[in-house]
A and B are shown apart, each in its own frame.
Chain A
């Protein structure tokens, strides 16, 4: 069973290429300085084009998280229960991810750090508790 794979487009290919090289990138606006994910052509703050990509430090905090006890796709059936979380990077952008920790240890505000993992050939940005080696 294959995972639902992200659609790589000219707009987001730098994002996925970054992850394949082990780094998480976000977009930043050269005009107003706004930073965001996911990839867009126009800055959602000043609406201008020309966004660049910047490497994230890879640290952030958990905003919220859920634990699936039911699978909406066969690829996740034997992973139950699994968590999905919103993490806010220290640079500001937020993203959907998985937390590499026991579910009952996850907390809002928990400090996490990036751990890029390959899953069925796709490099995904996941996060582990910041304190762990």
Chain B
């Protein structure tokens, strides 16, 4: 029985935005220091380091380089590569390692600096197909977005509603990188980037770092951790194949990740009061809502246009602004916001949060992980 056996004991992050002159290792160390302070524990307690590889600047032995900067020689130290899902997969692998007795207290962290460093990875040629002009991360999501519109008739206003909600929530977050609100008319007036994608459908590009401290609930009690948030459910599943190769473009194995997480937690979508849904592009939010069972296939458009995902709605999502407004950093900020919602310390606090859900995903929907937190 894994439900409630492990906790997120502390969370920390750097400023988000443009942070020139900071290496990813330095950013990771700052986030880890803040997470340890939040947990109220000394770094000597840490014996596991699970770090997602920086997207924009890959390095070999990154987990070890970071451990050196942290002054740690951990029992488990590993750099994970699953794109954006690696953050929450890191949480799951940390829990499994703790369960197996292979470590006791883990740091799960991520940092990157593409805004002041190199953005080349987001504009990359996609193999030999670059000869056709097939470039960029955004274009892969545009391919999925278009197919969703073709299969379900998803209106532009649905994608706009996701962007508008994120920007409304981000405007209330003093740490958000983009705090300028967006109206639906403003969204619709923006020219396409890679049609059907507009700029406001796309995540920010950000420097920054975030970190979590993960341990067993028992260890948290022994160490006197004040605001440990229990992990109720975890799941992951990976579509894995390139957009060109996967038989279905409009549903992914997110469905299986969520099913496993709900089963572990003994919960259903109706039991969730607030969700942090990975919003690298607006289409990802619509498909995740559908694959998770918050609405039937093709019906997320009505769900989001009715304002149900905004603060005050029945399933507020991305209450700190998400990747579209808070920071484009891939995913750990969503876990931190879920932790704040469960603790009752969020800026846009949802009343009576018992269960908060988080999705992370990476590549062009190649990977997916689900996390359910609760009191």
**A residues bordering B, Cβ < 8 Å?**
3-7, 12, 38, 63-70, 72-73, 76, 79, 81-82, 84, 86, 94-98, 103, 107-109, 119, 122, 124, 126
**B residues bordering A, Cβ < 8 Å?**
123, 125-136, 139, 142-144, 146-147, 150-151, 191-197, 243-245, 249
Q: Which chain B residues border A65 with CB–CB below 8 Å? A: 143, 146
* CB contact under 8 A between A67 and B194, given known A6-B131, A7-B128, A73-B130: yes
Residue of chain A at shortest CB distance from B146: A64
A67 touches B244 (CB 8 A): no
Residue picked from B135, B136, B196, most chain A C-beta under 10 Å: B135
A64 touches B150 (CB 8 A): yes
Q: Can you show 23 pairs from A to B with CB atoms below 8 A apart? A: A4-B125, A4-B131, A5-B131, A7-B128, A12-B128, A63-B147, A64-B144, A64-B146, A66-B139, A66-B142, A66-B196, A66-B197, A67-B194, A68-B133, A69-B191, A69-B194, A70-B194, A72-B125, A94-B245, A96-B134, A97-B132, A108-B150, A119-B131
Residue of chain A at shortest CB distance from B144: A64
Per the bound structure, the CA–CA distance linking A126 and B129 in Å amounts to 12
Q: Which chain B residues border A72 with CB–CB below 8 Å? A: 123, 125, 135-136
A4 touches B194 (CB 8 A): no
Q: Which chain A residues border B126 with CB–CB below 8 Å? A: 96
Residue of chain B at shortest CB distance from A94: B244
A124 touches B192 (CB 8 A): no
A84 touches B244 (CB 8 A): no
Q: Which chain B residues border A119 with CB–CB below 8 Å? A: 131
B135 touches A73 (CB 8 A): yes
- Smallest beta-carbon distance B282→chain A, Å: 15
Residue picked from A69, A81, A126, most chain B C-beta under 10 Å: A69
- Smallest beta-carbon distance A27→chain B, Å: 13
Q: Which chain B residues border A94 with CB–CB below 8 Å? A: 244-245
